[in-house]
Amino acid sequence: MDEIVNKVANSLLEVFDLEDYYPSGIRTQLDISQWLLDGFLLKEKDFREALKNHDWSQYQNHFVAIYCSTDAIIPAWASILVTVYLSPFAKKVVVGNLTDLETSLYQEILLTLDYSKYQDKPIILKGCSKKPVPESAYIMAIQKLQPFAKSIMYGEACSAVPLYKKSK
pLDDT tens digits, residue range 65-115? 999 999 999 999 999 999 999 999 999 999 999 999 999 999 999 999 999
Q: Of all helices (H) and strands (E), which one includes residue 93?
A: strand 92-95
- Could you tell me if residue 4 is inside a domain? no
Q: Which domain holds residue 41?
A: 26-90
Number of other residues whose CB lies within 10 A of the CB of residue 24: 6
154, pLDDT greater than 60: yes
Number of other residues whose CB lies within 10 A of the CB of residue 43: 12
Give the end of a domain, one of 90, 112, 140.
90
Same domain, 31 and 82: yes
User: Which is nearest to 40 in space by CA: 66, 67, 75, 70?
Assistant: 70
- Could you tell me if residue 124 is inside a domain? yes
Average pLDDT on 11-34 reads 94
Can you give the pTM of this predicted structure?
0.87
Give the end of a domain, one of 52, 70, 90.
90
- Report the relative pairing of strands 161-165 and 151-155 from DSSP bridges: antiparallel
